[in-house]
Structure 1
Amino acid sequence: MRQVHSFAAGAWVPPGLGARPIASAVTGDVIAEAGNDALDVRGMRAYARDVGGPALRAMKFHERAKMLKALALYLREHRQALYDLSFDTGATQADHLIDVDGGIGTMLVFASKGRREMPDAQVYLDGPPEQLGRGGQFFGQHICTPLQGVAVHINAFNFPVWGMLEKVAPTLLAGVPAIVKPATATSYVTEACVRLMIGSGYLPDGALQLVSGGVGDLLDHLDCQDVVTFTGSADTARGLRGNPNLLNNAVRFTAEQDSLNASVLGPDAGPGTPEFDLFVNEVQREMTAKAGQKCTAIRRIMVPEAHVEAVIAAIKQRLANVTIGDPRAEGTKMGALVSNTQKNDVIEKVEQIGAEAERVFGDPADFAMSDSRGAFLPPMLFHCADPDAAQAVHDVEAFGPVSTVMPYRDLNHAAALLNRGKGSLVASVITHDGDVAREITMASAAFHGRLYFNNRDSMAEATGHGAPLPHMVHGGPGRAGGGEELGGIRAVKHYMQRTAIQGSPDILTSIGQRWVPGAAEAADKPHPFRRPFGDLVLGDTFNSPSRKITLDDIETFAHFTGDTFYAHMDNDAAKANPFFPGRVAHGYLLLSFAAGLFVQPDPGPVLANTGLDNLRFMKPVEAGDSIKVRLTVKAKTPRNDEYGEVRWHVTLTTQDDDVVAEYELLTMNAH
C-alpha cells in the first residue's frame, strides 16, 4: 500500500485521520491511501506567506525563469518514475506524453518566455508610460507586482502532472508560492512529481506545498492577496466559488470546468477531401486519448446533413481498430477510466444521452474488457438525428470516451448548435474555406475560449483540437467556468496586482528600472559604445555633433537605393502633398546618417545591432537642415554570461531642436 504524503511547512506528512483508499484503474485493487484531516492547512498558508513569498519576491523574473528551466530539465531526467506510476491511473504511454511530457514542456515554455519577454527586474511594466502633463514632467505607468499571498491550485484527476505544472509554472514565475491540491484518485502521481521537485533543491523553502486529500478549512482563511484556481466539475466549482470568505474578501477565483466541446466539419470538406480524413482522425483521437477524460475532448460532432452517414461509417471504422486493455500491454491504444466510480458516472450519463440519440458504436456490456474489475469502457458513438429538439446532448457531459454526431443544415445552424453548449473551452472547425472560418468565428467565438481551425495546409504542424498550448489562452465562458489560464505572460499576470503609478520621469524610471523620457541623463561619460554591458547605467546619454543634409545627399540616396518617390525628387509634386513643404530627405536616409553620427567604428563591447522598435517620423527634413542625435540607455536585459541586450532611446532633432524622428535601437553588448 502506497502512503501518499502531503508536504506541509517543509515536512512530509503521512496519511492520517480520514485517509481514503485509492484503487488501481486497471485492476480495481487498492494500491494507495491519501488524506489527513489533521493537516495544519492554516499553518501551510502562513508558511507560504512568511517563508515562500519573501524568498520568491527577492528573486528577479529571470532568476525565477532559470529556476523553472532547471526544475523542468530535472523532471525530464526522472520522468520514467512518473510514467511507471501513471499506468495505474488507466493511462497509456501515449497518454503519459500528454500529461508528463506536456507538463514539463509547458514549464519550459514559461521559463523561456520569462527570460525573453519579462525584464531582469522585480517589477513588470504593463504597457508604455503615458504622458499626463503638458510639460513632460508628470507620467503614468501600469505596473504588475507579485501578490503577497498564496495560490491554492485545486486540480482534476485526469492530468496529475500537467494539471499541476501548467498552473505552478506561471505562479512561481510571478513570484507567488503555491499550495497544490490534486484529486485524490491520482494524487500518488502528483506526490511523486512534487517529491522530485522538492528533492531537486531548486525551489526556495515554502515555494511549493502539497495537500494530498481535502483542503479542510483553508479557503476560509484566504484574503485579497491569495488566489484560488480550480479544475473540475461545474457543480464543485459552484460550491467553491460561493465560499462566503472568498466572496467577502474578493479572493481571485478561476475555474476551468467541464464543457461540451464540439467539432464542425465544414461544408466544403466532404468525403474524398484531405479535410474529411483529418476530421475523422481528430474525432477518433479525442474520443480515445486519456479514455476520453480530457476537458477539451470532442463531445459533439457537427456534420453537414449530406455527410452524416459517411462520417459515422468512417468514425466507426477507426474506433473498431482501437485496442482496449491494460495500458502497460504492448498494442493497447486506450486504457481504463480513472476509477469505477467514474465509469459508473459515465454509464449514467450515457443513459441520458441515449434517450435522445441512437448508439451506433460501443456497448459497455459487450466489449473486450467487459469482464474486467478495472474501470474499462469502450468508445461510444451516438447519432442524434434532431439536435434542435434534443436537450441532453447539449447539456450532459459523459466524461469518458463518448461523443454524439448531429447534422446541421447550414453555417448559421452549425453556429447555433455550437452555441447551445453555453460556453466551452474549445471548438474546432475543419475547413479549407476562409469564408467558412470567418463566418463561424463571427457567430461563435464569443462562446469559446479557443477556436481551432485545421485543414490540408496546417495539418502537418497542427497540435490537435484537444491540446491547450502554454502560448495560448486556455479557458472559456459560461459553462466552461469563465476563467482563463495559460496564454503566455498573460497567465503570469493572473498572480500579480496591476497598479497605476504616477509621478515624475525620474520616479517612474526608479520604480520600473526603465528610463522614461524626461528623466535624468548622464552625458559626461565616455562614449557608451566603448563601455561594457555592466558599466552602462540607465540614463547614460551620448549627444552627437550635427550633420547638414544636402540636396546631393537626397539624390544620391534615391538613385543608390532606387527609392525615387516623388516627395524626394519632384518639388512641385511634393508641395502638392499636405505632408511636405517640398522635396524632403528620405526617412531611412536620416536613420543611416544618424547611425553614422553615433556609431563607434572600432571593435568594442557592441557586438551587433539586432533591430529597432517603435520608429516614428514626426517632421520632414529639407535640404539645408541639420540633424543631430541623442542616444540614451533605456533598458538593459542580460541574455547569457557573455552578453546582454541594451535598448537605446534614440531622438533625431534639427538645428532648431525640433524632433524629426524617434525610435528604440537594440544592441547586444559584451559583459
Structure 2
Amino acid sequence: MTLHQVNSFAAGEWISPGSGARPIESAVTGDIIAEAGNNALDVQAMLNHARAKGGPALRAMTFHDRARMLKALALKLGEHKKVLYDLSFSTGATQADNLIDIDGGIGTMFVFASKGRREMPDAHVYLDGEIEQLSRNGTFLGQHICTSLQGVAVHINAFNFPVWGMLEKLAPTLLAGVPAIVKPATATSYVTEAAVRIMLDSGLLPEGALQLVSGGLGDMLDRLTLQDVVSFTGSAQTALKLRSNPHMLENSIRFVAEQDSLNASVLGPDADPGTPEFELFVKEVQREMTTKAGQKCTAIRRIFAPENHVEAVIEALSARLAKNVIGDPQLEGTRMGALVSNGQKRDVLEKAEILSAEAERVIGNPDNFDVLGADPEKGAFLPPMLYHCASPDAAMRVHDTEAFGPVSTIMGYKDADHAISLVNRGEGSLVASVITHDPNVAREMALGSAAFHGRLYFNNRDSMKESTGHGSPLPHMVHGGPGRAGGGEELGGVRGVMHYMQRTAIQGSPDILTAISQKWVPGAAEIKGPAHPFTRTFHDLQLGETLYSDLREITLADIETFANFTGDTFYAHMDQAAAERNPFFPGRVAHGYLLISFAAGMFVEPNEGPVLANTGLDNLRFMKPVEPGESIRVRLTVKKKTRRNDDYGEVRWHVTLTNKDEDLVAEYDLLTMNAY
C-alpha cells in the first residue's frame, strides 16, 4: 500500500514530508495510511512570504473584495466536497459527521462573506462606533477605527474538525486582510491538505495569503512580532505551553484560545417525563454523545437533572443509545464511527477510569460491544458510556476531567440554585444548555451562570423544530468561553474579524476624519455639484456633495390635512389647549412624519435618472417642534457610498431639516440605490 504523503505549502511551494515525518493510521482499520511532518521547513521564509506578499495584496483589497473572494472560495470547495468526504471516512467520521465538518465549514465561509458585504464597508477602514464630539463646536472629533494587522495569523487547529476548524478561523482572518499559516493536527492533516489544495488551485487567493504546515511549527512562534496573531484550538495543557512562550509574552503577541470545556446540559425542573422538553433533552444528550464519536469541543460532558428524574433520564437515554449502531463510517447503517486513532481511544479510556472513582458506569461496556463491518480490536471504536455520580457536591474529577469521546456523566440537583452551582463548577465552558419551558427558570439560570459560559443555549417545545442544537457553534455568535475554555472568542460575525485588526482612536477635525474614514462627517467641507445630485450616477457623486433646498412654510392647513389623510389626529397636532399643557410643545405642532414627507418633496428630482430606489431611513431624530407659520429648509449631503455590484451602489445621504433661524428640526440618513 502506498502511503499518502501529506505535503506542506511553504513560501509558494509544495514540500513533501522529510525528516521528522510521523505515521498516520486509519481510525477504522488501524492501518498506517499516510505520513506527515518536515523538520526542514524554513519557517522564517514562510513568515517573510506572508508579510511581504500575502499581507500587502490582501490589504489592497477592500472588505467587500475580500468578502467576494470568500464566497468564491466557498463555492469552489462546494464543488469538491466528495473528495473531502471520501478522505474523512478514514478519520472515523460518518457522512453525518462530514456534513457538520465539511458543509459546516463551507457554510461558515458563506456567512462571513455575507457579513463582510452587509456589515462592513467597501473600504479599507472599519469604523467602530459613532463619532465622539470632543469639543463644544464640533471642530475636534474622535472616532475609533480598525485596520488590518500587518503581520500573519498562525492557526493551530485540533484533529476533530479538519475542515471546519480551519475555515472558521481562516474566513475572518482573510476578511480582516491578514494572511494565514495553517497548522492542522497531524492525525487528520490529510483532509486539511486536500481542502487547502482546492483553494490554492482555484487561483482566487493572492500569493502568500495561505500557507500550510503539515507537521510541527518548529521555532515559528519565537519569530513572531506584535503584528502577528496565534489562534489555537486544543487541550488546555498545550494552550498553556503555547501562551507561556517567553517571546510571545515579552512582545504581547495576541493569542486566541479555544480549549478544554466541561460543557453541561440541564433538564429544567419543569420538564417532567412525558413533556416535550424531557424528550428533547434526552435526544440532545444522545446526539452530543455520539456525533463525531463524542469528539467535539462543545459535546455535553456533564448532565444535570432533578434528583427525582435521574433514573428516568438514564432509562430513556439507554433506550435511545441501544439503537445506536457503531461501525465502519462508510456503511449506510452506521450511526457512530470511530475515534480518530487508537491513541485517542486509550486516552479516553484513561480519563473514563478517573471518572469511575466518583461515578458508576451505567451505560456502555468498552470491553463488550458490537461493531458493524470493522474489527473493534483494530479500529479506534468505543461505545457511548454514561456515568452516574450520586454525590456531585463531594465530587471533583467529574467537574474537571474531560474524556474527549462518547463519555458523559449524569448528576442530580435539588433546585435551580443547586443546578447553577454545579454547572459553574466546570470553571468555564464553551456552552451550557438548559431545556425548559419556564422563562423564569431560563432567566434564573442566565443570571446565575452566564458569567461562566461563552454561550447559553435554551430550547423547548416552541423552538425545537428550528433550533440548531446544543453542540453547534454558529458563525453569527461567539464561540469560546472563560476560564477552562480558554478565554477566547472566535466566530461571532464581525467580532471574529476584530481578532486580526487593530482598534485605534483617531482624533482631528471633521475633514481629517472624513478623509480617513471615507465617510462624510458633519462639519466637514461641503461640495456643490455641477447638477442636482439625483441626476448624477453613483460613480460621479462625491463625498460631501450637498444640495440646499428653498424654504417651505408649514401651515395649519397642512397639519390638519395630513392628520385627516393619515388618521394621525394625536392631540399635539389637533388640540391647542391640550398641546399647551404638554411640556414638550408650545401649542399645536406639525407631525414629524409630515416634515420628512415634505422634505422628500423639497430635495427630490422627479425625472427618471440614476436614483433607482429609496431603500429606507436610518437614525431618524426630531429635535425641535415646528409650529404653524414656521418655515423649514432641507440640506442633503452624500455621506457614504457602497458599491453593491457592477450595475448599482448604495448611497447614504445625510439629511437635516432646519428652521429659518438655522435651528436643527430633524436629522436622518436616507438610503438610495443609484445606477453605477
TM over 0.5: yes
The 5 A counterparts of 1:203-352 are 203-352=205-354
- Give the aligned partner of residue 92 of structure 2: 90
- Give the aligned partner of residue 623 of structure 2: 618
- Give the aligned partner of residue 396 of structure 2: 391
Q: Secondary structure at the match of 1:129?
A: strand
Measure, in 2, the Cα distance between the counterparts of 1:582 and 1:525.
Answer: 42
- State the AA in 2 paired with 1:177: P
Note the C-alpha offset of 1:552. 1.0
Q: Does 1:3 align with 2:8?
A: no
- Give the aligned partner of residue 483 of structure 1: 488
- Give the aligned partner of residue 594 of structure 1: 599
Measure, in 2, the Cα distance between the counterparts of 1:523 and 1:433.
Answer: 60
Q: Secondary structure at the match of 2:160?
A: coil
Pick one of 26, 41, 44 that aligns with 1:42: 44
Measure, in 1, the Cα distance between the counterparts of 2:532 and 2:106.
Answer: 45
Measure, in 2, the Cα distance between the counterparts of 1:523 and 1:652.
Answer: 18
Pick one of 170, 173, 188 that aligns with 2:172: 170
Pick one of 503, 512, 520 that aligns with 1:498: 503
- State the AA in 2 paired with 1:407: G
Question: Which structure 2 residue ranges, 5 or more long, are not aligned?
Answer: none
Q: Greater CA deviation, 387-396 or 291-300?
A: 387-396
The 5 A counterparts of 1:505-524 are 505-524=510-529
The 5 A counterparts of 1:414-563 are 414-563=419-568
Measure, in 1, the Cα distance between the counterparts of 2:320 and 2:341.
Answer: 26
- State the AA in 1 paired with 2:303: I
Question: In the TM superposition, what whole-angstrom CA distance separates every residue of 1:236-270 from its partner, at most 9, and x where no partner exists?
Answer: 00000100000000000011001000001111111
- Give the aligned partner of residue 56 of structure 2: 54
The 5 A counterparts of 1:125-164 are 125-164=127-166
Q: Greater CA deviation, 130-139 or 396-405?
A: 130-139
Note the C-alpha offset of 1:321. 0.3
Measure, in 1, the Cα distance between the counterparts of 2:167 and 2:648.
Answer: 31
Q: Greater CA deviation, 307-316 or 125-134?
A: 125-134
- State the AA in 2 paired with 1:360: V
Q: Secondary structure at the match of 1:170?
A: helix
The 5 A counterparts of 1:369-384 are 369=371, 371-384=376-389
- State the AA in 1 paired with 2:432: A
Question: In the TM superposition, what whole-angstrom CA distance separates every residue of 1:264-322 from its partner, at most 9, and x where no partner exists?
Answer: 11111111111111111100000000000000000011001121111110111111100
- Give the aligned partner of residue 572 of structure 1: 577
1:150–1:176 contact (8 Å) kept in structure 2 = yes
Note the C-alpha offset of 1:469. 0.2
Question: Which structure 1 residue ranges, 5 or more long, are not aligned?
Answer: none
Question: In the TM superposition, what whole-angstrom CA distance separates every residue of 1:542-566 from its partner, at most 9, and x where no partner exists?
Answer: 1111110011111111121111111
Measure, in 2, the Cα distance between the counterparts of 1:381 and 1:373.
Answer: 23
- State the AA in 1 paired with 2:244: G
Note the C-alpha offset of 1:371. 3.8
Q: Secondary structure at the match of 1:616?
A: strand
1:523–1:543 contact (8 Å) kept in structure 2 = no
Note the C-alpha offset of 1:18. 0.6
- Give the aligned partner of residue 196 of structure 1: 198
Q: Does 1:634 align with 2:639?
A: yes
Q: Greater CA deviation, 366-375 or 451-460?
A: 366-375
- State the AA in 1 paired with 2:315: A
Measure, in 2, the Cα distance between the counterparts of 1:522 and 1:181.
Answer: 51
Note the C-alpha offset of 1:578. 1.4
The number of aligned residues is 671
Measure, in 2, the Cα distance between the counterparts of 1:529 and 1:143.
Answer: 31
Q: Greater CA deviation, 90-99 or 305-314?
A: 305-314
Q: Secondary structure at the match of 2:516?
A: helix
Question: In the TM superposition, what whole-angstrom CA distance separates every residue of 1:23-56 from its partner, at most 9, and x where no partner exists?
Answer: 0010000000000011111110111001110110
1:532–1:670 contact (8 Å) kept in structure 2 = yes
Note the C-alpha offset of 1:121. 0.6
Measure, in 1, the Cα distance between the counterparts of 2:344 and 2:529.
Answer: 73
Give the fraction of aligned pairs with identical amino acids, expressed as a percent.
76
Measure, in 1, the Cα distance between the counterparts of 2:5 and 2:173.
Answer: 28
- State the AA in 2 paired with 1:587: G
- State the AA in 2 paired with 1:435: N
Measure, in 1, the Cα distance between the counterparts of 2:313 and 2:363.
Answer: 13
Measure, in 1, the Cα distance between the counterparts of 2:673 and 2:459.
Answer: 39
Question: In the TM superposition, what whole-angstrom CA distance separates every residue of 1:146-201 from its partner, at most 9, and x where no partner exists?
Answer: 00000000000000000000000000000000000000000010011101110010
Question: In the TM superposition, what whole-angstrom CA distance separates every residue of 1:203-245 from its partner, at most 9, and x where no partner exists?
Answer: 0000000000000000001111000011000000000010000
Measure, in 2, the Cα distance between the counterparts of 1:413 and 1:601.
Answer: 67
Note the C-alpha offset of 1:524. 4.2
- Give the aligned partner of residue 26 of structure 1: 28
Q: Secondary structure at the match of 2:226?
A: coil
Note the C-alpha offset of 1:523. 2.1
TM-score normalized with structure 2 length: 0.99
Q: Secondary structure at the match of 2:330?
A: coil
Pick one of 595, 609, 634 that aligns with 1:604: 609
Q: Secondary structure at the match of 2:77?
A: helix
Measure, in 2, the Cα distance between the counterparts of 1:525 and 1:465.
Answer: 59
Runs of 4+ aligned residues of structure 1 deviating over 3 Å after TM superposition are none
Measure, in 1, the Cα distance between the counterparts of 2:478 and 2:529.
Answer: 48
Q: Greater CA deviation, 431-440 or 558-567?
A: 558-567
Q: Secondary structure at the match of 2:430?
A: coil
Measure, in 2, the Cα distance between the counterparts of 1:441 and 1:568.
Answer: 45
1:6–1:211 contact (8 Å) kept in structure 2 = yes
Q: Secondary structure at the match of 1:306?
A: helix
- State the AA in 2 paired with 1:623: P
